[in-house]
């Protein structure tokens, strides 16, 4: 069990640029989640995949955000035309069943300048 | 909105028990209480969860009141490495094949040498 891996750990981008983050969940976990965390706040739910199907999206996920999990393994989160308000830690988590705890990755910290 | 209320911060002497309270007065009968912690610059780490019985694992104990409106996480012998933000979460209802966590702002626990 190598845990949940996220890449990159840190990303600095200019406003208006597109960015993409990758998450590699624990291999046997079929559920994958994306959360966003701003400074001093708890993580906020963004979206959820079961295998390759994106089953739920938060209203926080605007049209500039898109997430994929093409083969039910790794997932990507893309933000188009980044804004300063997108600066946050983006966390990925996975789980093997509806009950029980999630395993979170260490996150990707995005800074939009 | 988070369904839990926690004190924003607490201190605990190293080697002593840390007792972290959480109020969840609107919890429903089938909703579990989960605890996670987040050490600086890392993703949240699962600690323990419970429904109505007290639970214990290698990390902590969870005491849930009989009316289930509050709970306490107990770290029996706190160490400096337990300094973190601790989140008490009532898992939000089952949709799309999974449960979601709604995080609050947590309790910042500082263990003092």
Q: Is the dihedral angle over the CA atoms A52, A56, A57, A58 positive or is it negative?
A: negative
Nearest CA in chain A to B89: A42
Question: What is d(CA B47, CA B37) in angstroms, rounded to the nearest whole number?
Answer: 7
User: Which pLDDT does position A98 carry in this prediction?
Assistant: 59
CB pair distance less than 8 Å for B43 and A91: yes
Q: Strand B107-112 relative to strand A75-79: parallel, antiparallel, unpaired?
A: unpaired
Q: Closest to B100 (Cβ–Cβ): which among A45, A101, A105?
A: A45
Start-end of H helices in B1-113: none
Give the tens place of pLDDT for each residue, B14-56.
999 999 999 998 888 778 899 999 998 899 999 999 998 899 9
Q: How many CB pairs under 8 A join A and B?
A: 64
Tell the residue number behind the tokens 């790794």, with chain if given.
A74
User: Which pLDDT does position B94 carry in this prediction?
Assistant: 62
Query: Which pLDDT band holds residue B95 (cuts at 50, 70, 90)?
Result: low
Instruction: Looking at the complex, report in whole angstroms how far the Cα of residue B29 sits from the nearest Cα belonging to chain A.
Output: 15
Residues, chain B:
113
User: Which pLDDT does position B1 carry in this prediction?
Assistant: 61
Tell the residue number behind the tokens 């702002």, with chain if given.
B105
Tell the residue number behind the tokens 């705890």, with chain if given.
A101
Asked if pLDDT for residue B97 goes beyond 90, the answer is: no
Reading the block at residue A17, the tokens are 């640029």
């Amino acid at each position: 069990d190598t845990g949940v891996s996220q890449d990159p750990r840190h990303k600095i981008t200019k406003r208006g640029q597109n960015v993409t983050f990758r998450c590699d969940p624990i291999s046997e976990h079929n559920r994958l989640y994306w959360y966003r965390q701003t400074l001093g706040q708890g993580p906020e739910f963004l979206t959820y995949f079961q295998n390759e199907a994106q089953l739920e999206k938060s209203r926080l996920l605007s049209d500039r955000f898109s997430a994929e999990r093409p083969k039910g393994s790794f997932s990507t989160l893309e933000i188009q035309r980044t804004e300063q308000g997108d600066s946050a830690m983006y966390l990925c988590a996975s789980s093997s069943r509806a009950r029980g705890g999630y395993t979170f990755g260490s996150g990707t910290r995005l800074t939009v300048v | 909105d988070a369904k839990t209320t926690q004190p924003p911060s607490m201190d605990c002497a190293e080697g002593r028990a840390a007792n972290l309270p959480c109020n969840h007065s609107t919890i429903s009968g089938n909703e579990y209480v989960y605890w996670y912690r987040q050490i600086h610059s890392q993703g949240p780490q699962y600690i323990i969860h419970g429904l109505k019985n007290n639970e214990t694992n290698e990390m902590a104990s969870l005491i849930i009141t009989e009316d289930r409106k509050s709970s306490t996480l107990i770290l029996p012998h706190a160490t400096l490495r337990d300094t973190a933000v601790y989140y008490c979460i009532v898992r939000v209802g089952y949709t799309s094949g999974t449960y979601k966590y709604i995080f609050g702002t947590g309790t910042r626990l500082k263990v003092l040498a």
